Every structure is written in structure tokens, then in C-alpha cells.
């Protein structure tokens, strides 16, 4: 740690090899972590005051000014996905794109005004290392988090991700790339690594740093599909049932449901007063709440739910000893599903259950495994703001510059 501080404050005081090179970095965000823009050209809208024609790109996520009564209906309508013929597409009359693919602006903050930092502190930490520059050897691969990788939009992203890694390798003197992923970004990266061969991985990937990996799903996603999830939306005026309308169309949230292989058939995670449900009975839940389309969407992610061996060196970091939803209880007498349930407490990082987070310990090429205890250190989102986590990643990168440094 002292050498790290010495290098950052007095770069000439440490004896870096004169021909040292920087291994580039590509960052992959989690769900709700990419800024999304939309071009609106609709014939109909929920209210007369909703914008039907934007005439240019406008912010879809995170749009703080959209999260007020009435206007929220316009925003929800723009965020919806259509599920037809086994694939997902933007709502009719909406074209979407992620902000600043290849740069870092689209993931530094959740919003363009910078009120809600995301990767910002980590990016600032990495660029404090002499030689690291945004858009050159520090890049990001944001994606439309509403989709899973087997959708047409997801497949396009996987192609773009491969090209970005190859391009980053080439423009940095054929240096393999560090990929750093957060939350659902880890699922995307696992699916991506499964799609490329060993030779490609050996050439292009230096290491894979998995932060808060939701490897086995999360019970919390169940609430989003049943009653709406508003904790991920930093605004108190949002009505959960309004956002449930679009969350039920997000393929990614179904992909984040707990894996049946980790949650037993005799382990209910939903209690309604009239009936209890395990994750194995999720299709029954959708029948009972009157949303049968959910069953088809679940089937759309079945073939991408297996956890394969990544085949690269892995450093796994996550929080622990934080109260995390392990199930939900709705009051009897008609409260299910249109009222917010009571959380049942279990271990995890506040969002992802511990049994899901620890799956990275099984990877054959696991090089390091670190946990950060307590909400201040290891909260699912807050971990990216943790100075110890940032220093750990910086030490990895500085160590690569000169392996003889004792960091």
C-alpha cells in the first residue's frame, strides 16, 4: 500500500521498468447501470401531454425529471419492451441506444447530471495511475440492460463487446485486456466468455475482475416481477405498480431470478397468506397473478442460465454480512401481488444472496477472493465507491506495470 501511494504521489520515486506497458481495462456495468437514450416517434401516448415526437435523442435512463406523477406514465410507456415471436424489441415508436459505448461517460453516473455516481470513483482511481486515459486504455461497454444476451439486441452487444476488446488490445500495443464487471455484467461476461475459444481468451484477456457477481440469481428480482421494484430507482415519488408495468417486460429481470439448482423445491421464497411458492413454482405465480406472458419470457432465458467455467484468471470481490431479501411475505386478504411485501431477511450484499455470490469460488482459475463485510464496505452498489476496493484494483494494475513491485 505504501508503494501504491508513493507511485501515485511521486511517480518518479518508484523504479518502474523504462519499457513498462499498461494493460488496458474494459468495464462492464450491471442492470440499471448504463445510460440509455431514446428517439421518440409515436402515434399514441398515455396522456395528451406526453411527448410523441422527440425530434432527436432524449434521455430514457436515468431520467429524473420523468419521475413525477403523470409524467411517469409517459416514461414507463417509453421504457416498455415488446415480446413477440420469441424476441424482444423497443416499444413501437421508440428507438433506443446506450450512451458513449467505448468511452466511460455512460457508466460513470446513472444520470447525466452526475447526481448518482456509479463507476465514477473507480474510473477516477484508475486514471490517477500515470498513463491511464479514458477512451484509450480505460474503456466501457455499456449495454441495454433490459435485454438478455440471447435476444437480438443482446447478440448485437456481444459482437460489439468482442470488437471493443480486440480493438482495445490492438490500439494499446497488443496488450491483453482487464475486464472488470459489476452485478449482472458478470452474467453477460460469463456468457461472452463461453462464446469464445481458449485461444482467443489467452490472447485478449489479461484477467477478469468480478464485483458483486449475481452468478446464481437473486431473490430480489422476484419482487420486481410481482409487485414492482423501486429501490433501484433513486426517487421516492415513483409508484411501484407503475414501474412494474415495464419491469415485467424486461427479459433481464427474469434472467436474474434465483436458479432452481440453488433453491430447493421445499424452500418457499414467496408467502401470500393463501399459498406459498418456491422458485420451482414461478410459472404458477404468473398464472395466479394474471400475467401468463411471464411464463414465456422465463422460457426465453432457460438456455442461458447455466454457469460455465470462464476459462480466464478471476479475481472475485463482493460484500457480505448485509441483510438481503431471502423471500417476501404478502399479507393475506388480497394484498398479493399489488401491494409491497414484507422482506424476509437473509445473508448477502443487500441485493444478491450469499449462495449466489460465492459461486465464483468454484472457478478453476480463481486467483483471489475477497469479501467486504457490512453495508458501508460491501453494499451491492456502494462497493464500487469503497476506497479499499478501488485501491485493490489499482494495485492489480500497478503490479502489472512492474511485477517486481511489492504491492
Residues with catalytic roles: 183, 349, 380
Half-sphere exposure of 135 (CA within 13 A, CB side): 4
Under 8 Å CB-to-CB from 334, ≥6 apart: which residues?
none
Under 8 Å CB-to-CB from 399, ≥6 apart: which residues?
405, 407
Strands 53-61 and 87-90: unpaired
CB 203 within 8 A of CB 311: no
**Exposure string for 209-233, b = 16+ CB within 10 A, e = fewer:** bbbbbbbbbbbbbbbbbbbbbbebb
The span from the CA of 352 to the CA of 319, in Å, is 9
Number of other CB atoms surrounding residue 156 within 10 Å? 14
**1 closest CA partner among 405, 296, 338:** 405
Under 8 Å CB-to-CB from 329, ≥6 apart: which residues?
271, 272, 341, 342, 344
Amino acid at each position: 500500500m505504501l508503494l501504491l501511494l508513493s507511485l501515485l504521489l511521486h511517480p518518479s520515486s518508484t523504479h518502474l521498468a523504462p519499457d513498462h506497458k499498461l494493460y488496458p481495462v474494459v468495464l462492464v456495468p450491471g442492470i440499471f447501470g448504463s445510460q440509455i437514450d431514446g428517439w421518440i416517434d409515436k402515434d399514441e401516448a398515455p396522456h395528451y401531454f406526453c411527448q410523441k415526437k422527440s425530434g432527436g435523442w432524449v434521455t430514457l435512463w436515468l431520467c429524473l425529471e420523468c419521475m413525477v406523477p403523470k409524467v411517469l406514465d409517459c416514461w414507463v410507456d417509453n421504457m416498455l419492451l415488446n415480446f413477440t415471436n420469441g424476441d424482444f424489441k423497443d416499444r413501437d415508436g421508440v428507438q433506443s441506444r446506450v450512451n458513449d459505448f467505448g468511452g466511460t461517460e455512460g457508466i460513470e453516473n446513472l444520470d447525466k447530471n452526475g447526481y448518482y455516481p456509479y463507476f465514477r470513483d473507480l474510473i477516477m482511481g484508475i486514471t490517477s495511475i500515470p498513463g491511464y486515459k479514458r477512451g484509450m486504455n480505460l474503456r466501457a461497454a455499456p449495454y441495454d440492460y433490459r435485454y438478455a444476451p440471447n435476444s437480438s439486441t443482446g447478440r448485437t452487444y456481444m459482437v460489439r463487446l468482442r470488437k471493443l476488446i480486440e480493438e482495445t488490445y490492438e490500439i494499446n500495443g497488443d496488450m491483453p485486456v482487464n475486464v472488470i464487471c459489476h452485478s449482472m455484467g458478470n452474467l453477460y461476461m460469463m456468457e461472452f466468455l463461453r462464446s469464445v475459444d481458449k485461444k482467443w481468451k489467452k490472447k485478449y484477456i489479461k484477467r477478469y475482475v468480478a464485483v458483486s457477481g449475481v452468478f446464481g440469481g437473486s431473490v430480489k428480482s422476484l419482487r420486481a416481477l410481482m409487485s414492482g421494484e423501486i429501490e433501484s430507482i433513486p426517487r421516492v415519488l415513483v409508484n411501484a405498480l407503475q414501474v412494474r408495468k415495464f419491469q415485467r417486460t424486461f427479459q433481464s429481470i427474469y434472467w436474474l431470478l434465483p436458479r432452481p439448482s440453488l433453491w430447493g423445491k421445499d424452500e418457499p421464497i414467496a408467502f401470500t397468506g393463501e399459498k406459498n411458492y418456491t422458485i420451482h413454482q414461478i410459472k404458477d405465480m404468473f398464472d395466479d397473478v394474471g400475467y401468463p406472458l411471464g411464463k414465456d419470457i422465463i422460457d426465453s432465458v432457460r438456455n442461458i442460465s447455466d454457469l460455465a467455467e470462464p476459462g480466464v484468471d478471476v479475481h472475485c470481490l463482493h460484500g457480505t454480512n448485509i441483510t438481503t431479501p431471502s423471500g417476501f411475505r404478502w399479507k393475506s386478504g388480497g394484498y398479493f401481488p399489488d401491494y409491497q411485501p414484507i422482506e424476509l431477511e437473509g445473508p448477502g450484499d443487500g441485493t444478491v444472496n450469499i449462495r449466489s455470490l460465492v459461486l465464483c469460488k468454484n472457478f478453476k482459475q480463481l486467483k483471489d477472493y475477497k469479501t467486504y463485510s457490512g453495508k458501508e464496505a460491501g453494499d451491492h452498489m456502494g462497493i464500487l465507491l469503497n476506497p479499499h476496493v478501488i485501491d485493490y484494483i489499482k494495485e492489480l494494475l500497478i503490479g502489472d506495470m512492474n511485477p517486481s513491485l511489492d504491492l
